[in-house]
Amino acid sequence: MQRYTMLLVSILVLVVGAVFLAPTLWQLVYPYAYREIIEENARANGLDPLLVAAVIRVESSFRKNALSPKGARGLMQIMPATGHWVAEQIGRHDFNEEQLFEPAINVKLGTWYLRNLHDQFDGRLAVVLAAYNGGRGNVRNWLYEKTWSGQIDDIAQIPFPETRHYVWRVLRVYNIYRGLYAR
């Protein structure tokens, strides 16, 4: 009987410990690194910092030196051509693609680009995320040709499997971040 009681007490301690440690454990899996940089740039571009953190988590898992097989770089996985275009738009004439590995510059350019997509696609989050991953031209075509309605409920209609999966992942991670870090 004493052995049974010890087993029950041990299980109870584990369950109570898991309940109290759960947010901390989840924050290890879903970190919010570079928080100050993210919040400053998100605020400057009228974006939710937790959305930016979710994009970074999905794009690079917060690895500042991430390099995709296609050449996307840094935290927000910005292609060099996009980096040059955004830098030109914001008046950064000293830009070079190696700067995409610098968190402050990468997040500055990435949040500006997200905002630009937000404005172009009337703030429709699923559409903005699809354009960030699959290209604004492709998304414009999908919407124009009615291949995709642009609605969150119709994400399965996105023709590119990678983009479809990306949008689902960012939205899921965004919900997790809001649960863990929303004030």
Q: Would you call 98 a catalytic residue per the annotation?
A: no
For 51, the token pair is 């959305």
Contacts of 134 (CB under 8 A, 6+ apart): 158, 160, 162, 163, 166
Residue whose C-alpha is closest to residue 103's, from 36, 169, 27, 51:
36
Contacts of 99 (CB under 8 A, 6+ apart): 83, 105, 106
Choice among 59, 88, 97, 98 that is catalytic: 59
The catalytic residues are 59
